[in-house]
Amino acid sequence: MEWNHLKTEDTLEDIKKESFERFVLIFKHSTRCSISSMALDRLQRAWNAQEVENVKPYYLDLVSYRAISNKIAEEFDVSHESPQLLLIDKGNCVYHTSHMGISYNSLKREITS
């Protein structure tokens, strides 16, 4: 799985624009949390690029970039959680989940429905 790193608010604006061409995934990860590490590992191990070729994944280290995490919550009208997965389509968050709810199969269902 090849992550695109989300480190600036400008990138967040780019994500919104990109989401009109394909789904965009944002994974908010706390580098200090074992649950977040487990959710990240499960997602990465299950990821099949051929099955989700219409999804561009972004990774946010929310410990280093907390202000961007807050901006995501504001822009997409979701409560901040960690770990958290958001699926963006046409500029809007169409699916989000956190903690043990994060799964590749659930994500795949969302993009194919």
> Which CATH number is 39's domain given?
3.40.30.10
pLDDT score recorded for residue 80: 87
Contact assessment for residue 17 and residue 49, using Cβ atoms and an 8 Å cutoff: no
pLDDT score recorded for residue 113: 75
- What is the arithmetic mean of pLDDT over 61-69? 93
pLDDT score recorded for residue 89: 97
- If pLDDT is split at 50, 70 and 90, which confidence band does 104 have? very high
Average pLDDT across the chain, whole number: 94
Query: In the chain, how many domains are there?
Result: 1
- For residue 91, the 8-state DSSP code is T
Estimate the crossing angle of helix 66-76 against helix 9-18, to 10 degrees.
Answer: 40
pLDDT score recorded for residue 81: 87
Which of 67, 23, 59, 64 is CA-nearest to residue 43? 59
pLDDT tens digits for 29-49? 998 999 999 999 999 999 999
Pairing, β 23-29 against β 55-61 = parallel
Three-state DSSP at 51 gives: coil
pTM score, two decimals? 0.94
Residue 51, domain extent: 4-112
Q: Which two tokens stand for residue 104?
A: 């590749």
